Chains A and B, each alone.
Chain A
Amino acid sequence: MEISEVLLEELIVFDVESRTKDRAIRELAAKLENTGYVTDIDAYLAAVMKREEISSTGLGMGVAIPHGKSGAVAKACVVFGRSRDGIDYQSDDGEPVYLLFLIAAPEAADEHLRILANISRKLIHERVRNELRQAETAREVYQALS
């Protein structure tokens, strides 16, 4: 699976305004309104927040990958958000988050784990993280993740 298949250009937010975890997740989820991917944003958000209660998806290195699977998701997709100032995310390493990938996946199967693994594999590399933090266009985002 290529990330570009699930991360659409209209689902990229270059300047996330929110500075806290809950607000940032909601800000990104709002991009899913009227896309046809998620039929009920509130139900989907409830799944994301429930997952967040188990353990923070702030994974360290300035990266967070909140995710939820829900019957309210018609088709898997990813919203990418980049914060310039950093988000207080209660991350594993206590550092602010600059790169957020919000995954929405249907209830069945392990599709969200596949997408999560795919994105994680890219973000392990410092070069990729730096390129994403500096990206100005969707093309640069796709290039960094390719």
Chain B
Amino acid sequence: MISKEYTILAPEGLHARPAKEFLNLVRQFKSKVVLIKDGITADAGSMLGILSMQATYNSKIILEVSGEDEVHAAERFDCFFDKEIINL
């Protein structure tokens, strides 16, 4: 399992287009992806799970990725949360 914390850099938060793009990414991998924020966990494999996090701009969120392609998936999420999300 790979665990990593990110700061949400999208001005509108992990919501609307950023949330949809994130969900599309999660679905590309076999690994299970769990979100943790303020002690609450949610499955990143559903939009309800992602939106339940209330991940607003500048908030911190932990991603736990586990499965056979977790290394590849975690690298992809790095790129998403560090760079791509800013322009969505």
Residues of A at under 8 Å CB distance from B? 51, 54-55, 59-61, 63, 65, 92, 110, 113-114, 116-117, 120-121, 123-124
Q: Name the residue among B16, B48, B56 with the largest chain A CB count within 10 angstroms.
A: B48
B53 located at the interface, meaning its Cβ lies under 8 Å from any Cβ of chain A in the complex: yes
Q: A123 to chain B: which residues have CB within 8 Å?
A: 48
Q: Name the residue among A92, A113, A114 with the largest chain B CB count within 10 angstroms.
A: A113
What is the distance, in angstroms, from A94's C-beta to the closest C-beta of chain B?
A: 13
A54 to B12, CA, bound (A): 12
Q: How many A-B residue pairs have CB under 8 A?
A: 50
A110 to B13, CA, bound (A): 10
**Would A120 and B16 count as touching, CB distance under 8 A?**
no
8 closest Cβ pairs, A-B complex: A117-B54, A120-B52, A59-B47, A121-B52, A120-B51, A120-B48, A55-B20, A124-B48
